[in-house]
Structure 1
Amino acid sequence: MISLRYLGLVLLGVVSAGVCSAGSFGDWPKGASPDEVGHRVAENYLARPYQLFGPQRVIHYVETCTWIGSLRFARDAGDRALHERLVRRFDPLLGPARILIPPALNVDYTVFGAVPLELYMETRDQRYLAPGLTLADQQWATPTDESKLSPEAKEGVAAGLSWHTRFWVDDMYMITMLQTQAYRATGEKKYIDRAAAEAVAYLDKLQQPNGLFYHAPDVPFFWGRGNGWFAAGMSELLSALPAENSQRARILVSYQRMMATLLKRQDQSGMWHQLIDDPASWEESSATGMFTFAFITGVKNGWLDEATYGPAARRGWLALVARIDEQGRVRDVCSGLNKANDRQHYFNAVRLVGDLHGQAPIMWCADALMR
């Protein structure tokens, strides 16, 4: 059943799709419009089975990220049929396939809760609310229990953080996205306060004076997608964080500092590199998509100057579109990558085609441009 709220959002999507035709975010070359690209990549996603991972063989976090982006795109593009198919993708998980829903063991598993919360917000079907809130609350079941923190996280950890805290840069998206979604779905302040507190702890631990982030405290490399997770996570958080939240100013300044350095590090091609500060490293698509999403979101919300960041976002989008094949698969995507205190580790990462790490940010960007 499609809710009245969905119909209202569709109308807003149709309107926004019509007004985003000026400046950097319009007049696209043939085949490069957000509507065309978003539909092509969404169809590629829907044709796939669930992507599973881990010893439990549960739904992968990249499935979560691509699913949310596709849902939002379909809503804002006003494509009711596509949206319905994306909603129905969850149906097996309400039955016997519920065993594929990840348990709340770590950040990569628990972020899945953001999907049912998105479905609840778009349909108001109560069946989706409980699975999302259960994972959001389990993420804070035993806040900052030192017995469950990784060794590098224990030093100087603040009270009240998630027991999933480990201070890897990608956690900033995985933890804060779920809590932000729980806040959006319920309006309960505790969720957004958790997200903001976690963000500031990670800013204190990982952000460097140039605004970029180490992969981990003991891994001093500016890995592209790792920084992309942080850029996307801050964009999502700032989009929901109330003006009166005591941490908002700190997070916004840190986001803007990061964006300023990313602007300087964007290649003439429109891409960013596997190691952001090393132009000898290869141009990588998932990081480029995440940074482009952060630029688009910042411009549209007034956090970034449109004349400065709008053209850079456009270059990023067009560079990504050029890397999408006829099947809707994006190339030059870094494989899943653990931390390592070894520069060559990042150079040697496998370059994939069609991996959901790269598909997801394409959908985020397409939706952000359509709004």
Structure 2
Amino acid sequence: MKSVILTLLCSTAFSLVANAGEKSPACFTDWPEGASPAVVGKRISENILPRKFRFETNPAKAKLGVIYPEVISWYGALTVADLTKDINLRDRLIAKFEPFLSDPGSQRINRVAHVDYRVFGAVPLQIYLENKDERCRTLGLSLADAQWENPTPDGITAEARYWIDDMYMIPLIQTQAYRASGDMKYLDRAALTMAAYFDRMQEPNGLFYHGTNAHFFWGRGNGWMAAGSAELLRSLPENHPRRARLLEGYRKMMAALLANQTEAGMWRQLIDKPESWPETSGTAMFAFSMVTGVKNGWLDEKSYGPAARRAWLALVAHLDEDANLREVCIGTDKGFSEQFYLDRPRTAGDLHGQSPMLWTASALLR
């Protein structure tokens, strides 16, 4: 009965959301108490804001500086603050960035040519989009441009490893650079690289192995691909020459995910293995991608709207009283056995899980 009601709700008229012009079907409204994206986004933002950076708490890792989970959660919190018009939250998130704009804080920005460090630029670019601080724009664009200093003969960044994790980090920094500059070269770069990953790595069933030599449909690995493609498509013009290819790959992946969603609304640590445990960070990334697809008209709202809603409500149920998301797979390198993925430890409050919850809250708010 609930699924019938949700389907009927999704087929009703759209209402426009002023923030970004996206359309919001009724199935993304009327949330149970405590489950609205504004409330959840605020709770998780307040959860991550006071956290110290790893370079402050782990001297052995201090030389690596700010790490990507800190970046992508910060980015998500900034978008939540912007979309909810929470000036106080926004200003505190921005104030936390100020030390990185001059020495010695700027030395904590890792300039190594690696996708996990280049993505740092997404945060100053988001700050620029919110307050027009030119220092942040300059910093963010410098990292986006550095990523393409020595491209491969086919025009792709040399940082591309053909791990699906790459396909959130690269599109995010390059798409943010476009949003802050209006220069199409950044979207061209991201689209070229994303298309190459679709061509080389997408399996006939629509999903992606963790790597070309790691043949397992890992949940969060596929989540990076799902979230990165949705983030890029949000800004890619209708007439872009690679848009049709990216939409084709994206929709093929979303169909595979829809077929593998559990009755409870979750996706598993290994997506295609029923014996595998439901994992929250990948689920949150898939929810973000589906919500974004429904609201932009890329996906059929009657099929994908209820699925995205079920995923969001299942995720909210996995938040503890301090807004820590439970059942998050810890950081995971490529593995070479099914058991490796099934045995990965689970944790609560890991930024790999907090981050996509913030992205999904923002997607629902747009």
Same fold per superposition (TM over 0.5): yes
Q: CA deviation at 1:56?
A: 2.4
Q: Would the alpha carbon gap of residues 303 and 14 (structure 1) be closer, same or farther in structure 2, given more than 3 Å must change?
A: closer
Aligned length: 345
1:165 maps to 2:168: no
User: Cα deviation per residue 1:58-85 (whole Å; 9 max; x = unaligned)?
Assistant: 1110111111111111111111111111
Contact kept? 2:330, 2:346, Cα under 8 Å: yes
The residue number in structure 2 matching 1:322 is 317
Matched, 1:297 2:292: yes
For residues 207-259 of structure 1, the C-alpha deviation after alignment (integer angstroms, 9 at most, x for no partner) is 00111011111111100000000000000110111122111000001100000
- The structure-2 alpha-carbon separation of the partners of 1:14 and 1:299, relative to structure 1 and needing over 3 Å to count, comes to closer
1:125 to 2:120 alignment: no
CA distance in 2, matches of 1:308, 1:14: 23
Q: Are 1:189 and 2:196 counterparts?
A: no
Asked if 1:254 is matched to 2:249, the reply is: yes
Q: What is the RMSD computed on CA atoms of the aligned residues?
A: 1.7
Q: What are the superposed Cα offsets for residues 288-318 of structure 1, whole Å, 9 maximum, x if unpaired?
A: 0000000100000000011111100000000
Deviates more, 1:126-135 or 1:54-63: 54-63
Partner Cα distance (1:51, 1:349) in 2: 22
Matches within 5 A, 1:185-264: 185-264=180-259
Deviation at 1:15, TM superposition (A): 10
The equivalent residue for 1:310 is: 305
**Pick from 70, 75, 95: which aligns with 1:88?**
95
Contact 1:13 1:75 in 2 (8 A): no
* Partner of residue 336, structure 1: 331
SS in structure 2 at match of 1:168: coil
Whole-Å separation in 2 of the counterparts to 1:357 and 1:228: 11
**Structure 2 alignment gaps of length 5 or more:** 1-16
Pair 1:73 & 2:68 matched: no
In the alignment, what sits opposite 2:7?
none
Does residue 99 (structure 1) correspond to residue 107 (structure 2)? The answer is yes
Distance 1:92 1:323 in 2: 34
CA distance in 2, matches of 1:28, 1:245: 36
2:27: which partner in 1? Answer: 24
Q: Point out where structure 1 has 5 or more consecutive residues left out of the alignment.
A: 1-10, 145-157
2:10 alignment partner in structure 1: none
CA distance in 1, matches of 2:105, 2:116: 19
Tell me the distance in 2 between the aligned counterparts of 1:76 and 1:93. Answer: 24
- Aligned partners of 1:12, 1:248: CA distance in 2, in Å? 25
Query: Which one-letter code corresponds to 1:324 in the other structure?
Result: L
Instruction: Provide Cα deviations, 1:114-171, integer angstroms capped at 9, x if missing partner.
Output: 1111111111110101111111111111112xxxxxxxxxxxxx61110101100110
**Is contact 2:37-2:362 (8 Å) kept?**
yes
Tell me how far 1:14 sits from its aligned partner: 11
Residue 6 of structure 2 is matched in structure 1 by none
SS at match of 2:63: coil
How far is the alpha carbon of 1:319 from its aligned partner?
0.4
Q: Distance in 2 between matches of 1:178 and 1:72?
A: 15
Q: Secondary structure at the match of 1:235?
A: helix
Question: What is the deviation of 1:186?
Answer: 0.7
The question of whether the paired residues in 1 share the 8 Å contact of 2:54 and 2:62 is answered with no
Deviations 1:174-208 (A, max 9, x none): 11111111111111111111001100111112100
CA pair 267-61 structure 1, distance change in 2 beyond 3 A: same
Match of 2:151 in 1: 143
| Distance in 2 of aligned mates of 1:62 and 1:325 | 20
Structure 1 residues 51 and 306, CA, compared in 2 at 3 Å: closer, same or farther?
Answer: farther
1:4 equivalent in structure 2? none
Q: CA deviation at 1:42?
A: 0.6
> Identity over the aligned pairs, expressed in percent?
51
Provide the secondary structure at the position in 1 that maps to 2:148: coil
- CA distance, structure 2, for counterparts of residue 40 and residue 214 of structure 1: 34
